[in-house]
Amino acid sequence: MVDAAPETAVANGIAGPAYDEPPIIEVRDLNIGYGGKAALQGVDLDIYRHEIFGIIGPANSGKTSFLRALNRMDAFNTAMEVRGSIRLNGKDINDWRNVYALRSRIGVVFPLPVGLPLTVYENVAFSPRLRGIRKKAELDEVVERCLRRAALWDEVKDRLDSLGSLLSGGQQQRLTIARALSQEPELLLLDEFSIAVDPVTTMRIEDVLKELRSEMTIVLVTNLVQQARRLADRTAFFLMGELVEIGDTEDLFEGKVTDQRTTGYIEGRFG
């Protein structure tokens, strides 16, 4: 699995994935179920630092469950059962005494955006405040930087005091991205982030994600195979709770696959 960095990253002059370092995420024999019904079975995979790791697959293939498990969101839903091991930086995520500290290092963006019923400013300042940042100037700086990166700043800079929960769907989606970035996470989990966002904005955010790779690791779940192709260094294909294929994105898209179902999905024959 230790390959050279994909050429695109090198060409952009941005540090590529650190395949020669130990992985940031090691997943072994992960099984997820809801009330006894399996959603994901026997998944083994590694994710490396500074990598954009794409996950593709049709609905109900277990992609979202996988993301939820990484952030220990099973604690929110008593029906969700997670077995197997997930290690973050070599340490099992269930061994973190303080699950809040774990979550604060992982940013999450879900397909249905949730703008908190706080002002736009406070939405983005929420996490920095949790970290203990109190100085107004410092908070201002973080808020502006994150909103700019999420391609939202120009639209909201004059109404930072309006409620985040009353922004439009697309704006709320970018607000949640800004909020995730404000955590300065080691790991950013994105689940179909572009569903509520127009194509131009999607492109802008995709460009930002490419830049962010130098600062963090990104797991990108997407229903758009071309988005995975544009962004991901490596891509995994999930189908009906099973990890079918994992490999260099370019290889998958060029047909170098071990399972023909992967090519079938990528070429749009099902899904």
Partner 1 sequence: MAWYVDRAAQVFVFVGGISAIVFIAGIFVFITKEGLDFVLGPLSLGEFFTSIEWRPTSNNPTYGALALIVGTASVTGFAMLLSVPLSLGAALFIAEFATGKTRETLKILVEMLAAIPSVVWGFVGMSIMHPLIIRVFDVPLGLGVLNAGLILGLMAAPIMTTIAEDALKAVPDTYREAAEALGATRWEVIVKVVVPASRNGLLAAVLLGVGRGFGETMAVLMASGHAINLPTSVFDSVRALTATIAAELGDTVQGGNHWGSLFTLGILLFIVTFVINLTADIVVRGIRKK
Partner 2 sequence: MFAATPLNRRSHRNQNVARAVFFLMTVALVIPVLIIVGTLVVRGGPALSWEFLFTAPRDNMTAGGILPALVGTIWLVVVALLASVPVGVAAALYLSEYAPDNLLTRTINLAIINLAGVPSIVHALFGVGAFVYFFRFGASILAASLTLAVMTLPVVIVATRESLQAVPQAFREACWNMGATRWQTIRKVVLPNSISGILTGVILEVSRTAGETAPIMFTGATAFVAFLPESVFDQTMAMSYHLYYIATQATDVPEQLTFGVALVLIAIVLAMNAVSIAFRVYLRGLKKW
Give the binding site for partner 1 (CB under 8 A): 98, 100-101, 130
Helices 120-130 & 136-149 angle (0-180, nearest 10)? 120
Shortest Å distance, C-beta 122 to partner 2: 8
Which spans of this chain sit near partner 2 (rule: CB under 8 A)?
Answer: 71, 73, 76, 78, 100-108, 112, 114-118, 126-127, 130, 163, 165-166, 176, 179-180, 183
Among partner 2, partner 1, none, partner that 213 touches (CB below 5 to 8 angstroms by kind): none
Among partner 2, partner 1, none, partner that 80 touches (CB below 5 to 8 angstroms by kind): none
**Strand 187-191 relative to strand 217-221, pairing:** parallel
- Residue 74's contacts (CB-CB under 8 Å, 6 or more residues apart) are 32, 68, 80, 81, 82
Shortest Å distance, C-beta 196 to partner 2: 14
Among partner 2, partner 1, none, partner that 78 touches (CB below 5 to 8 angstroms by kind): partner 2
Spatial CA neighbour of 212 closest among 13, 6, 14, 10: 14
Whether the Cβ atoms of residue 109 and residue 176 lie closer than 8 Å to each other:
yes
Residue 102 vs 232, nearer CB to partner 2: 102
Spatial CA neighbour of 67 closest among 230, 172, 180: 180
In the structure encoding, which two tokens stand for residue 133, read together? Answer: 């940042």
What are the residue ranges of helices labelled H in 183-248?
A: 199-212, 225-231
Shortest Å distance, C-beta 259 to partner 2: 33
Among partner 2, partner 1, none, partner that 50 touches (CB below 5 to 8 angstroms by kind): none
* Dist. CA 62–CA 96, nearest whole Å: 24
Residue 100 vs 270, nearer CB to partner 1: 100
Residue 97 vs 136, nearer CB to partner 1: 97
* Dist. CA 55–CA 235, nearest whole Å: 6
Shortest Å distance, C-beta 94 to partner 1: 17
Shortest Å distance, C-beta 98 to partner 1: 5
Secondary structure element (H or E) that encloses residue 42, with its range: strand 37-47
Residues comprising the chain, all counted = 271
Residue 125 vs 212, nearer CB to partner 2: 125
Whether the Cβ atoms of residue 197 and residue 116 lie closer than 8 Å to each other:
no
Shortest Å distance, C-beta 163 to partner 2: 6
Among partner 2, partner 1, none, partner that 114 touches (CB below 5 to 8 angstroms by kind): partner 2
* Dist. CA 174–CA 152, nearest whole Å: 6
Residue 96 vs 153, nearer CB to partner 1: 96
Residue 78 vs 98, nearer CB to partner 1: 98
Among partner 1, partner 2, none, partner that 249 touches (CB below 5 to 8 angstroms by kind): none
The one-letter amino acid code at 32 reads I
